[in-house]
Amino acid sequence: MVKKLIETFQNLYGCGREIRTYFAPGRVNLIGEHTDYNGGHVFPCALTLGTYAAVRNREDRVLRFYSMNFESVGIIETSLDNLIPSEAASWTNYPKGVMWTFEKRGYQLNHGLDIAIFGDIPNGSGLSSSASLEVLTGLILKDTFGFDQISMVEIAQIGQYSENNFNGMNCGIMDQFASAMGKKDHAIFLDTNTLNYEYAPIKLEDAKIVITNSKVKHSLVNSAYNQRRNECETALAELQTVVDIKGLGDLTEAEFEAHKDAIKDPVRQKRAKHAVYENQRTIKAVKALRSGDLVLFGQLINASHASLRDDYEVSCEEIDLLVDLAQSIPGVLGSRITGGGFGGCTVSIVKNEAVDTFIEKIGKTYMEKIGHEAEFYVAAVGDGAKVLS
């Protein structure tokens, strides 16, 4: 992978001066969906899938970008003096946004770069290819310009800030945090209110994490996402008239039930209900996993899906089919949509002996009913972003 990337880099930009290489992973979230912008908990893990970069310093202020995933786009050339979002900039809006944020925070970038990247996260799958690209860029800049004072948590924050303010997607911190801070064979139990986190070993005994890609991404994902976020913010403001809280994640289920009538609109009430219950489910799920109660862990995952489908309404026909099929297979402990929603992937906890049946059965029925294939990955949980050489 890295060898091919370096070869491509040299063909594009010529041989010669030192080339450095970097990697940042994608993520899958086990539970805690749409809680990260509500001051709740999330429980993601970094994958071994991700984005690789080869980088060389330049003496001027020119930036050249190339992605092996978008060969037809070719080299995109710009400059450190032109860090503004544009449609023509295509995928480079993500690295440019991170560079813009660095400069905004006073970290001056005093020379340009030649960059080539390659990613093995399927595009549009909801496994955070864009967050991995942001964290990758943050790490490149930290390493290249010697910003030792910048922690990996700050890199995650910079990625989120750039996505919010440069790319117009009002996401929470989960994806960037998982990509920056992941740990092999562990999931991250993160309190998005305080950014306190703990690593929890993924002890699934005789089961695996299976990711199923629906290979659909419905349009308007970003606008629907931003809309959900606005609904939660309005619901929070209504609740704050009757109870002293900073975020929906501060409430238990019982407290929510006691105060929910402050939320005037029934749709908004459902959204807030999801955020509150999902946060509590996440806390319970981590406890269950830690105590080895995989049955309860799976049940909470199933309940998460029902809530995302019915109350938060971010699922879709294709994903519901995948989840229904998965939940009907013996040996599947739990299955749900993962990520922002409206397509993308499901995550399922599947006993080893059921993995083949899972893939065969779901693959066949999905093809028959939806008309295209689903893709399956048995997840390998890896480390966060790193300098390779």
Pick 34 or 142: Cβ nearer ligand GLA: 34
Minimum distance from CB of 174 to ligand GLA (Å)? 4
Task: Show Cβ contacts of residue 234 under 8 Å, excluding neighbours closer than 6 positions.
Answer: 268
Figure out which of the listed residues 46, 83, 127, 171 binds ligand GLA, where binding follows CB under 6 A: 171
Please choose, from the candidates 214, 262, 189, 231, the residue with its C-alpha nearest in 3D space to the C-alpha of residue 29.
Answer: 189
d(CA 2, CA 23): 10
Residue with tokens 């893990």: 45
175 given a catalytic annotation: yes
Residue with tokens 């809280």: 245
**Token pair in block for residue 227:** 């809309």
78 close to 97: Cβ distance less than 8 angstroms: no
151 close to 135: Cβ distance less than 8 angstroms: no
d(CA 271, CA 292): 31
Question: Does 172 sit near ligand GLA (CB under 6 A)?
Answer: yes
Minimum distance from CB of 379 to ligand GLA (Å)? 16
Figure out which of the listed residues 30, 46, 47, 174 binds ligand GLA, where binding follows CB under 6 A: 174
- Of residues 314-343, which lie at the interface with ligand GLA (CB under 6 A)? 339-340
Stretch that binds ligand GLA, among 51-59, 116-124, 171-179, 375-383 (CB under 6 A): 171-179
Pick 175 or 250: Cβ nearer ligand GLA: 175
Query: What string marks each residue from 22 to 61 as x (binds ligand GLA by CB under 6 A) or -?
Result: -----------xx-xx------------------------
Minimum distance from CB of 111 to ligand GLA (Å)? 31
d(CA 74, CA 66): 6
**In sequence order, what DSSP letters do the residues of 335-380 get, joined into one string?**
EEEESS-SEEEEEEEEEGGGHHHHHHHHHHHHHHHHSS--EEEE--
Minimum distance from CB of 31 to ligand GLA (Å)? 10
Q: Single out the catalytic residue among 36, 175, 191, 250.
A: 175
Binding site for ligand GLA (CB under 6 A): 33-34, 36-37, 171-172, 174-175, 339-340
Active site members? 175
